Structure 1
Amino acid sequence: MAISTPTYHPLHFSPTITTRRIHLHTIPFAPRKALLTTCARRTGKRRYPSEKKKLEKIKKELLKTEIRNREEGYWRLSKLSVPAHKDPGKDFIGVSLPLLEAIAKVLKFPVAPMLPEEAFTVVRKSFDARKVLKEPAFVYTVDMDVKKLLHLEPRTWDFISYLEPKLGFVEYREDENAPTDLVDILDKGKVKIDGSNPFNGFTYSEKRPRVAVVGSGPSGLFAALVLGEIGADVTLIERGQPVEQRGRDIGALVVRKILSSESNFCFGEGGAGTWSDGKLVTRIGRNSDSVQAVLKTLVQFGAPPNILVDGKPHLGTDKLVPLLRNFRHYLLDLGVDIKFNTRLDNLVVENGQVKGVVVSNAKNEPGCNSDQEKLLFDAVVLAVGHSARDVYSMLLQHNIEMVPKNFAVGLRIEHPQELINSIQYSELANEVQGGRGRIPVADYKVAKYVGGDEFNTESSFESGVENRSCYSFCMCPGGQVVLTSTNPSELCINGMSFSRRASKWANSALVVTVSSDEFDSFRSHGPLAGVEFQREFERRAAEMGGGNFVVPAQRVTDFLAETLSDTSLPASSYRLGVKASRLHNLFPAHITKALQYSIEMFDKELPGFITTDALLHGVETRTSSPVQISRQADTCESTSLKGLYPIGEGAGYAGGIVSAAVDGMFCGFALAKELSLYRGDVELVLRKAQKQTGFVKY
Structure 2
Amino acid sequence: MLRLTEIKLPLNHDENAISAAIIEKLAIIPEQLHNITVFKRGFDARKKADIQLIYTLDIDVDNEAQLLQRFAHDQHVKPTPDTSYTYVGQAPDNLAERPIVIGFGPCGLFAGLILAQMGFNPIILERGKDVRERTKDTFGFWRGKALNSESNVQFGEGGAGTFSDGKLYSQVKDPKHYGRKVMSEFVAAGAPEEIMYVSKPHIGTFKLVAMMEKMRANIIALGGEIRFNTRVEEIHTEDGQLTGLTLASGERLPSKHVVLAIGHSARDTFQMLYDKGVYIEAKPFSIGFRIEHEQSMIDECRFGRNAGNPILGAADYKLVHHCSNGRSVYSFCMCPGGTVVASSSEQGGVVTNGMSQYSRHERNANSAIVVGIDPERDYPGHPLAGIALQRQLEQKAFRLGGENYHAPAQLIGDFLLGKASTELGEVKPSYTPGITLTDLAQVLPEFAITAIREAIPAFDRKIKGFAKADGMLTGVETRTSSPICIKRGDDMQSINLKGLYPAGEGAGYAGGILSAGIDGIKVAEALALAMLAQVKS
| Interval of TM-score (by shorter of Structure 1 and Structure 2) | over 0.9
What's the CA shift for 1:375? 1.7
Query: In structure 2, what is the Cα distance between the partners aligned to 1:469 and 1:115?
Result: 55
Q: CA RMSD in A?
A: 2.3
Match of 1:172 among 69, 78, 91: 78
Change (3 A) 1:613 1:81: farther
SS in 2 for 1:216: coil
Aligned to 2:416: 560
Once the two structures are superposed, residues 386-421 of structure 1 have per-residue CA deviations (whole angstroms, 9 ceiling, x without a partner) of 100000110111011100001111111011111111
What's the CA shift for 1:118? 4.3
Change (3 A) 1:264 1:636: same
Aligned to 1:206: 94
Query: In structure 2, what is the Cα distance between the partners aligned to 1:568 and 1:322?
Result: 37
SS in 2 for 1:274: helix
Count how many residue pairs are aligned between Structure 1 and Structure 2: 535
Counterpart check, 1:403 vs 2:281: yes
Please tell me the residue identity of whatever aligns with 1:619: V
What's the CA shift for 1:167? 4.7
1:267-306 to 2 correspondences below 5 Å: 267-285=155-173, 288-306=176-194
Give the TM-score, by structure 1 length: 0.73
Change (3 A) 1:471 1:605: same
SS in 2 for 1:632: coil
Query: In structure 2, what is the Cα distance between the partners aligned to 1:624 and 1:446?
Result: 18
Once the two structures are superposed, residues 299-320 of structure 1 have per-residue CA deviations (whole angstroms, 9 ceiling, x without a partner) of 2222222111000011111221
Where structure 2 has 5 or more consecutive residues not aligned to the other structure, the ranges are: none
SS in 2 for 1:144: strand
Aligned to 2:317: 444
Change (3 A) 1:616 1:177: same
What's the CA shift for 1:148? 8.6
Q: Determine if contact 1:209/1:233 at 8 Å carries over to the other structure.
A: no
What's the CA shift for 1:285? 3.4
SS in 2 for 1:121: strand
1:517-556 to 2 correspondences below 5 Å: 517-520=376-379, 523=381, 526-556=382-412
Query: In structure 2, what is the Cα distance between the partners aligned to 1:134 and 1:501?
Result: 23
Query: In structure 1, what is the Cα distance between the partners aligned to 2:185 and 2:350?
Result: 35
Q: Determine if contact 1:257/1:549 at 8 Å carries over to the other structure.
A: no
Change (3 A) 1:552 1:118: farther
Q: Determine if contact 2:11/2:51 at 8 Å carries over to the other structure.
A: yes
SS in 2 for 1:248: helix
SS in 2 for 1:342: coil
What's the CA shift for 1:226? 2.2
Greater Rg over alpha carbons, structure = 1
What's the CA shift for 1:372? 2.1
SS in 2 for 1:356: strand
Change (3 A) 1:566 1:228: closer
Query: In structure 2, what is the Cα distance between the partners aligned to 1:316 and 1:203?
Result: 35
Aligned to 1:25: none
Please tell me the residue identity of whatever aligns with 1:641: L
Change (3 A) 1:227 1:287: closer
Counterpart check, 1:645 vs 2:497: no
Query: In structure 2, what is the Cα distance between the partners aligned to 1:661 and 1:494?
Result: 20
Query: In structure 2, what is the Cα distance between the partners aligned to 1:399 and 1:101?
Result: 63
Change (3 A) 1:406 1:322: same
Query: In structure 2, what is the Cα distance between the partners aligned to 1:559 and 1:501?
Result: 28
Q: Determine if contact 2:409/2:474 at 8 Å carries over to the other structure.
A: yes
Aligned to 2:9: 82
SS in 2 for 1:311: coil
Please tell me the residue identity of whatever aligns with 2:387: V
What's the CA shift for 1:509? 0.3
Match of 2:293 among 404, 407, 415: 415
What's the CA shift for 1:357? 1.0
Match of 1:629 among 477, 480, 486: 486
SS in 1 for 2:461: helix
Once the two structures are superposed, residues 639-686 of structure 1 have per-residue CA deviations (whole angstroms, 9 ceiling, x without a partner) of 222221111110111111111111111111111121126999xxxxxx
Give the TM-score, by structure 2 length: 0.94
Query: In structure 2, what is the Cα distance between the partners aligned to 1:318 and 1:565?
Result: 34
Once the two structures are superposed, residues 553-605 of structure 1 have per-residue CA deviations (whole angstroms, 9 ceiling, x without a partner) of 11111111111244335411112111111112322221111111111111111
Match of 1:659 among 505, 510, 515: 515
Once the two structures are superposed, residues 353-394 of structure 1 have per-residue CA deviations (whole angstroms, 9 ceiling, x without a partner) of 22211112xxxxxxxxxx422222232211100100000110
What's the CA shift for 1:543? 1.1
Aligned to 2:258: 380
Where structure 1 has 5 or more consecutive residues not aligned to the other structure, the ranges are: 1-73, 88-95, 151-156, 190-200, 361-370, 456-466, 681-698
Aligned to 1:574: 431
Query: In structure 1, what is the Cα distance between the partners aligned to 2:139 and 2:177?
Result: 38
What's the CA shift for 1:479? 0.6
Please tell me the residue identity of whatever aligns with 1:605: K
Change (3 A) 1:425 1:286: farther
Query: In structure 2, what is the Cα distance between the partners aligned to 1:547 and 1:621?
Result: 18
Q: Determine if contact 1:347/1:358 at 8 Å carries over to the other structure.
A: yes
Query: In structure 2, what is the Cα distance between the partners aligned to 1:291 and 1:562?
Result: 45
Match of 2:57 among 135, 138, 142: 142
Q: Determine if contact 1:203/1:678 at 8 Å carries over to the other structure.
A: no
Change (3 A) 1:202 1:489: same
Aligned to 2:302: 424
Match of 1:619 among 467, 472, 476: 476
SS in 2 for 1:676: helix
Match of 1:471 among 326, 330, 348: 330
Query: In structure 2, what is the Cα distance between the partners aligned to 1:101 and 1:637?
Result: 51
Query: In structure 1, what is the Cα distance between the partners aligned to 2:482 and 2:518?
Result: 17
Change (3 A) 1:538 1:566: closer
Please tell me the residue identity of whatever aligns with 1:80: I
Aligned to 1:127: 43
SS in 1 for 2:523: helix
Same amino acid, percent of matched pairs: 38
Please tell me the residue identity of whatever aligns with 1:328: R
Q: Determine if contact 1:241/1:340 at 8 Å carries over to the other structure.
A: yes
Please tell me the residue identity of whatever aligns with 2:265: S
Change (3 A) 1:563 1:351: same
Aligned to 1:98: 17
Once the two structures are superposed, residues 608-650 of structure 1 have per-residue CA deviations (whole angstroms, 9 ceiling, x without a partner) of 11112310110111111100011112x2111222221111110
Aligned to 1:65: none
Change (3 A) 1:79 1:207: closer
1:328-367 to 2 correspondences below 5 Å: 328-360=216-248
1:160-239 to 2 correspondences below 5 Å: 163-168=70-75, 170-173=76-79, 176-180=80-84, 182=85, 185-186=86-87, 201-202=89-90, 204-239=92-127
What's the CA shift for 1:438? 4.0
Q: Determine if contact 1:386/1:624 at 8 Å carries over to the other structure.
A: yes
SS in 2 for 1:605: coil
Aligned to 2:349: 490
Query: In structure 2, what is the Cα distance between the partners aligned to 1:677 and 1:498?
Result: 44
What's the CA shift for 1:130? 1.3
Comparing 304-313 with 204-213, which one deviates more in the overlay? 204-213
Aligned to 1:312: 200
Aligned to 1:64: none
